[in-house]
Amino acid sequence: MEYRLLGRSGLKISTVTMGTMTFGGLGWAKQVGNLGVSEARRLVDLCLDAGVNLIDTANVYSAGVSEEIIGEILGGKRKDGLLLATKARFRMGEGPNDVGSSRQHLIAACEASLRRMKTDVIDLYQLHEWDGLTPLEETMEALDTLVRDGKVRYIGCSNFSGWHIMKALGVSEKDKRQRFVSQQIHYTLEAREAEYELLPITVDQGLGVLVWSPLAGGLLSGKHRRDQAAPPGTRQFAGWTEPPIRDETRLWNIVDTLVSIAAGRGVSAAQVALAWLIGRKPVTSVIIGGRTEAQFKDNLAAAELRLSAEERKRLDDVSVPSIIYPYWHQLYGSDRLSQADLVLLAPHVS
């Protein structure tokens, strides 16, 4: 297992992170999984034995039950070097202040997460979504307070737009607050929109990147094929609708390429898709999740898979995002592009 620095911090995390949305199975999360404590414990041990040092969850996963299961597994005592990440922002109660990124909600949500996970500190505390109603000065001050109080060690964001991130970083600098060390984003061979703004910002501002749902909800696992119904037991079979697919032909062309490369290497399509992400320079770690040991073992093996330049080119070519404005115009000045610009534009610069 390789370990990479998380943004500009001194914290190293494994290139594979364990995701826990499958823990609990309450409400909407039932479509993803419903693992109890004993099943989840086996999977946690499997990941730790493979060298994973970060477990990621969120308070909204099964209405807090995912965090509670982690707390039961750890029993108030973490194994050496284990890091915990969670998220807050979504509604966790019926009250008017039980949602959002206000000081009131974030501090209360953090304290509740600490209790559920039976821990004294959260290593990475992330805003799960943008809150356009709360002033960023209030949000960043609340996160800064949590760090200064010793309840949180590092802060990050998830699902922000590019301008949201830059505004937050600007507020942190202006007010001398803690700044985000990372962003958690959706980024796959099928969905490369992050290359327009989020990944260039990552390079320019020194952020870490954690990728959620790196197999596109299982669509890139090789189990789903062109003109075939969703197999029983998969998320799509259960009615899961993430991510939105805007071009089915493109999706199946990507899957065909994954399956072809996987067959030539004697590995799964899922491993190839994950290895492509791990090999993308701005990516720090991919978050894997599942319901079975077989799924986790297969995904964990991607940490050791190295794709050839030719294999990477095949995947890049079949999935390359269209160059929308203003990026196609910026190619006229390609002699003055930075490394951040080239995250998107490098394949188009002659």
Indicate which residues carry an active-site annotation: 61
> What are the residues whose beta carbons fall under 8 Å from the beta carbon of 150, sequence distance 6 or more?
120, 121
Which of the 8 DSSP states describes residue 79? Answer: P
Q: Which residue has the tokens 């189990």?
A: 223
Instruction: Say how many C-beta atoms besides its own lie within 10 A of residue 10's C-beta.
Output: 9
C-beta of residue 118 within 8 angstroms of C-beta of residue 148: no
Location of structure tokens 């001194």: 10
C-beta separation of 95 from 124 below 8 A:
no
Crossing angle of helices 103-117 and 136-148, in 10° steps, is 40
In angstroms and rounded to an integer, the radius of gyration of the C-alpha atoms of the chain is: 20
Structural tokens at position 33 = 């999984």
User: In sequence order, which ranges of 17-74 are alpha helices (DSSP H)?
Assistant: 37-49, 65-74
Q: What letter would DSSP give residue 321?
A: P
Q: For residues 344 and 321, give the distance between their C-alpha atoms in angstroms, rounded to a whole number.
A: 8
| Burial environment of residue 125 by CB neighbours within 10 A (0 to 12, 13 to 18, 19 or more) | buried
